[in-house]
Chain A
Amino acid sequence: MNEQLNNLPVLTWNHLGVNRAGQEFALPEVPQSGSAEENLTISILPSNVERVQEFPIDHEEMESGVGKAYDNYILKNSNISYLLKVKGETEQTIRTKTCVSSGHRAIAGSFGIYAEEGSSLVWMQESVSDEDVSGFSTELTRIYAKKNSRIRLIQVQNLNRSTPSWNGVAIYAEDGARVEVVRAVLGSSRSAFGTRAELKGKDSSYQLDSIYFADQTQLFDFNDVSNHYGKNTQADMYTAGVLAGESSKTLRGTIDFKKGAVYGVGHESEDVLMFGDKVRNRTVPLILCAEEQVEGQHAASIGRLDETQIYYLISRGLTPLQARMLLIEGRFAPVLDKIPDEKLREELASQIERRLKENEPKSNAS
């Protein structure tokens, strides 16, 4: 399928190759082999969260960062559907895990949160695969946050290296609603992620904390958008990542202040660490603005770790690897700290450490 995915909201020079995800992200055909729900693991739902068959609202304006064409692809092909209606505040974290297995090599998951007024929910989604199975994973999560609701979506993509993946998040926030997306992208041969938040209500807010680690020949493509419509909206989008081996990554981050979004605030940043001679990083941070009374900022820092910091840590007795690890953990902490499962958190931390060791630069920074 040749749909254009992860489209940059305002186009720029075509030769840069950043206007949309490349051909390698063309969507695969989903085999019509019936439900794959046996590949979905779910935690027990608290009493005020209800599983529903249909998403309660079909809003034209809701679109994931990957794009409308992708959303329609999922809705048409989904072999897993898990939609939740949240009626009140919940303490308990909802967990789901989708697994690409030899039984179902193709996952097309449609997920959704419809949060009633004043409700709250934390949902952690894991995307994994059995070893030696090569398949693909495509997921869409729609979040409709009604007045003063609070939603936190935690996504951990830890697929094997022969499974490409696509993941879209579409957010719609009413007055005073707050939506947070916490995202760790570690696995997959190639992975496209796109979140898009429509901050429609006044005082609505959105936060994205994203980390990625790419090595070998991994290919990551991100498209994160925050559209501000309501008064006094706020968006914070932070990304930190490591590129090693022959990996390559494109990140598009857009803050768009629409007319009428007075007192809107949007911050966006990316820190990229690059190791090795064959990595490629592309960063395209947009700020679009049609309103006077707003504050928009973005910052990007691409390259190496600060050598004076490493030097300092070594002088305090750390090995160069420990020093680098400490600094990278610091960058990844905003995401790792929000993973509610200690065991998983430690697993991810040790995976990152292992991969850092594997990609140890030949000439030491010390």
Chain B
Amino acid sequence: MRNFDSEKTNVEEVDRSIYDIKDKVHPSFEVQSGLTEDIISQISEEKHDPAWMRVFRMKSLEQFNKISVPDWGPNLDELHLEDIKTYVRPDTPMRGKWSEVPKDIKDTFDRLGIPKAERKSLAGVGAQYDSEVVYHNITEAAASQGVIFTDMESALTGPYEEMVRKHFMKLVPPSDHKFAALHGAVWSGGTFVYVPAGVTVEIPLQSYFRLNAPGAGQFEHTLIIVDKGAYLHFIEGCSAPKYNVNNLHAGCVEIYVGENARVRYSTIENWSKNMYNLNTKRARVEKGGSIEWVSGSFGSHISYLYPMSILQGEGSHMEFTGITFAGNGQNLDTGAKVVHAAPHTTSNITTKSISRDGGISTFRSSVKVAPDAVGSKSSVSCESLMLDDRSRSDTVPAMDIQCSDADVGHEAKIGRISEQAVFYLMSRGLTEEDARAFIVGGFAEPIAKELPLEYAVEMNNLITLEMKGSIG
């Protein structure tokens, strides 16, 4: 059990100092703010894009200019796209060894625990610094199994170009929404993973994204292809220093789950609290395959995040486990989407959300069952906890069922910490503050246990930090 005695609970704001470290900005190349055809071709030039990618970017830019900002969800009026420098390249070439990464960049990562995580035998680290991958490594064991774990740029120009071309933004077309179009036009960096048929990647692959320059957007693309019968656990973590200029993150994750394959995708998102996190994640699951999302949203100013699963093959399965913790100045709109497009598919969505200190959390979901998805089952359960009356917590689920031979269940609960439970814990010797922190920890526990150990610890620490000062 945590030692509650040693922790003060009257801290006003969370100490983010370990996350909010800024390095001096000295980029080698920077495009001017705003988004024009010139900028897009500059990016293409600079990244030595193949011809098809140049065309793709231009087409996406067209879409971006055509599609309007969503009329639902948190307000995006303060997001001035013309002010966002879409591309900032850090002043360092690709490194294969940790020791060669520049010191200030390394220091920031050190504080975030990346090399430590690697020492704990993670299979590889692809740490993204601003828009470019600066450090990339994969253990020999995974590589010898034929697993490809590389940055998107290398994948695009290397031997896997054809595979990338076949899959790139096919699940999330740029026409999907405004920020998918933006992504298609200006994406840079990210990770490409291919796991061959039948290979089980024993240890999780991990990438850690960071944003550094003020006003810099981040548009990394993650493409994961897991072939028949293979297994992969991919971990994505985010943390960024705090700046006063609006920051935008419009990344994209595409996961192709092959027949009978299984993919687990875990995220702990802890962007600094001026970030607009408009991320799109989508998976397509073939026959008998399974996708598991574990998602924790703690940071950012505004989030729109709803990982989507398309259950395309018979008997495929999706599982979504999420937690959202909205504090002061945060408006986190999170949830999940699932489409049952084949018979006997199953989905299970479980989420918890906590709102405190003026934070707004919204759970949003969509469950669709197509007419021929006979025998499909879906269950959604969301629970929200309100820690004070200045905060807000909304639940906006939608179900569209077009098949009568399906079972769809949904339940949601909203409430507060039970006074009885607090009273009981206090009668057993805990202070009120500790009792409440204890109950919130218990509320989040089902999510924590889905995470790898070091992330569960990080999440618990975050909750403890966030809970400080929440009473009285």
Contact = CB atoms under 8 A, between A and B. Distances in A.
A112 to B, nearest CB: 32
Interface stretch (A10-18, A155-163, A172-180, A318-326): A10-18
Given A297-B412, A297-B413, A287 B395 contact: yes
B389 A300 contact: no
B411 to A, nearest CB: 5
Interface string B398-409: 111111111111
B397 A289 contact: no
Nearest to A281: B401
B405 to A, nearest CB: 7
Given A290-B392, A292-B386, A302-B408, A283 B72 contact: no
A300 B410 contact: yes
B408 A12 contact: no
Nearest to B413: A297
B415 interface: yes
Contacts of B394: 10, 286-289
A290 B389 contact: yes
Contacts of B414: 287, 289, 294-297
Contacts of A274: 401, 403-404, 406
Interface residues of B, number: 38
Given A279-B404, A287-B394, A300-B399, A294 B410 contact: no
Contact of B408 (A290, A292, A300): A300
Nearest to B417: A292
Given A295-B414, A303-B407, A11 B72 contact: yes
Contact of A304 (B364, B400, B405, B412): B405
A250 to B, nearest CB: 9
Interface in B379-433: 384, 386-389, 391-416
Contacts of B405: 303-304
B253 to A, nearest CB: 19
A327 interface: no
B366 interface: yes
Nearest to A272: B401
Contacts, number: 141
B469 interface: no
Nearest to A290: B392
Contact of A284 (B72, B398, B406, B415): B398
A300 B371 contact: no
A19 interface: yes
Contact of A303 (B366, B396, B406): B406
A339 B414 CA distance: 33
B389 A295 contact: no
Contact of A299 (B386, B391, B398, B411): B411
B71 interface: yes
A277 B399 contact: no
A95 interface: no
A282 interface: yes
Nearest to A284: B398
Nearest to A260: B389
Interface of B: 71-73, 362, 364, 366, 371, 384, 386-389, 391-416
Given A286-B397, A302-B399, A303-B407, 5 more contacts: A259-B389, A274-B403, A274-B404, A293-B416, A300-B409
19 contacts: A10-B362, A14-B72, A259-B389, A279-B402, A279-B404, A280-B401, A284-B397, A285-B412, A287-B395, A288-B395, A289-B414, A293-B389, A294-B386, A294-B414, A296-B415, A297-B411, A299-B411, A302-B406, A302-B408
Interface of A: 10-14, 16, 18-19, 243, 259, 262, 272, 274-304
